[in-house]
């Protein structure tokens, strides 16, 4: 009888752990409105492979008006993922972006946040 209770207890504990892991695996990519479809595509490709907490950062294009995606300058985003907190990921990606930013771009900004729901 004790063996059956131990097995049932272990099964319940493992089931609870599996549910907690499943709940934690729900990932959310937060994207602001008005981004160009090419930027969103690049961001979702990154998010599909990255681990939360993560940040997708790019320098701003001072010449680009919202919705004018045909005149968008090409830029390589700075990304960070797998950090304990979103703030750490954002700080790392922002620092990398600012270090690589050329003078023809404005300051770097967080455009995507990858988090657990």
pLDDT tens for 68-116 read 787 778 788 999 999 999 999 999 999 999 999 999 899 999 999 999 9
pLDDT tens for 8-23 read 333 333 333 344 444 5
pLDDT tens for 37-60 read 889 999 999 999 999 999 999 998
pTM for the full predicted model: 0.75
Cβ contact 93:80 at 8 Å: yes
Dist CA 63 CA 61 (whole Å)? 5
């Amino acid at each position: 009888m004790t063996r059956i209770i131990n097995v049932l207890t272990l099964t319940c504990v493992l089931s609870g752990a599996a549910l907690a892991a499943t709940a934690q695996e729900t990932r959310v990519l937060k994207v602001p409105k008005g981004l160009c479809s090419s930027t969103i595509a690049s961001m979702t490709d990154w998010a599909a492979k990255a681990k939360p907490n993560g940040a997708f950062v790019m320098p701003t294009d001072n010449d680009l008006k919202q919705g004018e995606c045909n005149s968008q300058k090409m830029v390589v985003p700075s990304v960070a993922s797998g950090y304990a907190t979103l703030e750490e990921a954002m700080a790392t990606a922002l620092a990398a972006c600012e270090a690589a930013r050329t003078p023809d771009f404005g300051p770097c900004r967080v455009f995507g946040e990858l988090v657990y729901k």
